[in-house]
Amino acid sequence: MPGIKVHPSESFDEAYRKFKKQVDRNLVVTEVRARRFFEPMTEIRKKQKISARKKMLKRLYMLRRYESRL
């Protein structure tokens, strides 16, 4: 869980901004949204397959772009 140390000279707004930035970096909000509803293992695997395919196609596209420049 993210946490910050507030210095005596810092205002509330500065501390709040720091906290929000740390929450974004630790992906707390995205994880909470993902866990909001129960997902069966089949849906998780399906999403992983789709993301793996997208990743592979992106690599292939980038490789072809790189080769065309040579």
Q: Map residue 45 onto helix, strand or coil.
A: helix
Chain segment 6-54, per-residue pLDDT in tens: 999 999 999 999 999 998 888 888 888 888 899 899 999 999 999 999 9
The pTM of the full predicted model, rounded to 2 decimals, is 0.48
Q: Which residues of 14-53 are buried (b: 16+ CB within 10 A; e: fewer)?
A: eeeeeeeeeeeeeeeeeeeeeeeeeeeeeeeeeeeeeeee
> With 80 as the cut, is the pLDDT of residue 1 above it?
no
pLDDT value of residue 49:
97
Residue 65 or 70, more confident: 65
pLDDT band at 4 (very low <50, low <70, confident <90, very high): confident
> 26, 32, 3: which is closest to 16 by C-alpha?
3
Residues 6+ apart with CB under 8 A from 25: 2
